[in-house]
Structure 1
Amino acid sequence: MSVVAYPVRVDGTLEEPLSRWLWLVKWLLAIPHLLVLFLLWIAFAVLSVVAFFAILFTGHYPRRIFDFNVGVLRWWWRVQFYAYGALGTDRYPPFTLRDVPSYPAHLEVKYPEHLSRGLVLVKWWLLAIPHYLVVGFFVGAGTSYASRADDRAWGWSGGLVGLLVVVAAVVLLFTGRYPRPVFDLVLGMNRWALRVAAYAGLMVDQYPPFRLDLGGDDPGTTELHEPLLPAGPGTFGPASTTDATGGMSTTEAGEQRDRS
């Protein structure tokens, strides 16, 4: 059965062997990233409002804002992949909005040449509600603490992803191995959530599929091969980077592979 391509690509490669113990302190190691991401998400929200009106009046998502917002999603995914969204690598995430080819977690969104001016009014809240319910089940809202006058109790509301990552961490602690089926399922649920995030962030008009694409390489999309930010600091925009394909850009290499 053929799979319809979706313009959001989320990949992750499980890097083994993983440390049996490092996951115990990743919450501490991730704090610098979380502080930066707190500011980036504020900027993301403000710029999404600007993009909303730009799409409403022109049908276009401003390219520089698009590249920045995709970079925020990409940064968030790398941190989640390193920390308790997947525990897929022990390599510390880079502090950059750009894609880092050598890092095992990647996120790409194909830039839309035109977006519906009508859909922008409803897709981020009304149309996305069914997906919000699914993603809420997958991701949850963390651990909650319930307190009453006579007793206290911890209640788990971290979602299925959090629960499975805890299971994987315990197995890793005692065996030194990450159960591959658990990793594939966790990655599939993160992939679903990030597709919905891109849709709700007004980056795509195509409705996210109700499909759990498992495994490291995203089977539900085409190869995009489009670095969204240039190597130089302080600027945002599309860029081409050379690789081992005779000096051609990754975008050109991807197009040549598609033609072949």
Structure 2
Amino acid sequence: MSAEFLPTLDILEPDQQNRLTVLLRLLLLIPQFVVVWVLSVVAFFVAVIGWFGALVLGRLPDFAATYLAGYLGYDTRVSAYAMLTLDRYPPFGFDTPQYPARIGLKPGPLNRAAVFFRLILAVPAMIIQGVLVTGWWSVSFISWLVVLVLGRMPRPLFEATAAIVRYRMRFQAYLLMLSSAYPKGLFGDDESVLLGTAVPGAATTGAPGTVGGAGAASATRPLVLSGAGRGLLVAFILLGLLASTTSSLTSAFTSDDDDTARATGPLAPGPGPARR
């Protein structure tokens, strides 16, 4: 029995970045965020229809696989650009063979029981990716400042960021039923990882382990993290846990204060009844 295919991510080696586009990165991405939101609304309804189809057919219907794969590729390119792993602005389209970031997917047969309980099964991976993304963005100003000053993303920071982008992509691929493989490989791959091909609309042409039509070498397939890269990834995890815990405690205390205020409101000092 062959091993399950894990969705792949190819990004070029970190290179010089235009400091002006780094400075204005989030502002430049406003149109992309709007497009991703619109695409995500459509993806929700396609995924719901695809879920019913997968229960009946044992796989995603072709139309659902094609759209969801295109959406996931688009979302991943925007995330990679927003998180400073590359400097080229993501194009407005699903078919982007020359873009220096791509994903590889192989939608195929699905276990109907796993499809039926998809949301429940995805909860652990959802928590992990939430912690990762929260941790990265909680110190994103520092990362942004480093890239702005140096004009490039340091290799350890690139490795940790690429690992987060890839895990998030694998989680979404599993949730959207584009992959039967549960998200894994957060801390990188072995050099001997087998490489796969991609489906139309989700990846560009080129040999495995390359990016774009020019066939430039991928820095993330296989993804091998250095000691510094692993250390940064652990730091992002800890920061994400801390930020999530702090947010939960703050919400709990705020809720308790509101409840207390409502309970003691009638007892608050105020003008008493007039005395004769």
| AA of the residue aligned to 1:134 | I
TM-score by length of 1: 0.70
Matched, 1:89 2:86: yes
Pairwise mapping of residues 9-24 of structure 1 onto structure 2 (< 5 A)?
9-24=8-23
Match for residue 122 of structure 1 among 117, 125, 134: 117
Q: Distance in 1 between matches of 2:38 and 2:164?
A: 26
Matched, 1:160 2:157: no
Instruction: Report the counterpart of residue 187 of structure 1 in structure 2.
Output: 162
Pairwise mapping of residues 137-216 of structure 1 onto structure 2 (< 5 A)?
137-139=131-133, 159-163=134-138, 165-209=140-184, 211-213=186-188
Contact 2:5 2:106 in 1 (8 A): no
Structure 1 residues 33, 222: closer, same or farther in 2, change over 3 A? same
Q: Distance in 1 between matches of 2:33 and 2:68?
A: 16
Q: Once the 2 structures are TM-superposed, how far is the Cα of residue 64 of structure 1 from its aligned partner?
A: 1.8
**Deviation per residue, 1:127-152 (Å, 9 max, x gap):** 1221112111101xxxxxxxxxxxxx
| AA of the residue aligned to 1:108 | G
Contact 2:54 2:110 in 1 (8 A): yes
**Deviation per residue, 1:56-111 (Å, 9 max, x gap):** 1121211121111111111111111112xx2122211111112x232111112112
Unaligned residue ranges in structure 1 (runs of 5+): 140-158, 230-237, 245-249, 251-260
Q: Once the 2 structures are TM-superposed, how far is the Cα of residue 24 of structure 1 from its aligned partner?
A: 2.2
TM-score by length of 2: 0.67
Matched, 1:62 2:35: no
RMSD: 2.8
Instruction: Report the counterpart of residue 7 of structure 1 in structure 2.
Output: 6
Aligned partner of residue 19 in structure 2, secondary structure: coil
Q: Distance in 2 between matches of 1:226 and 1:204?
A: 12
Q: Once the 2 structures are TM-superposed, how far is the Cα of residue 168 of structure 1 from its aligned partner?
A: 2.6
Identical-pair percentage:
28
Structure 1 residues 207, 184: closer, same or farther in 2, change over 3 A? same
Contact 1:198 1:204 in 2 (8 A): yes
Q: Once the 2 structures are TM-superposed, how far is the Cα of residue 5 of structure 1 from its aligned partner?
A: 6.1
| AA of the residue aligned to 1:228 | G
Instruction: Report the counterpart of residue 148 of structure 1 in structure 2.
Output: none
Higher Cα radius of gyration? 2
Unaligned residue ranges in structure 2 (runs of 5+): 208-212, 214-276
Contact 1:8 1:110 in 2 (8 A): yes
Higher strand share: 1
Aligned residue-pair number: 206
Aligned partner of residue 118 in structure 1, secondary structure: helix
| AA of the residue aligned to 1:71 | G
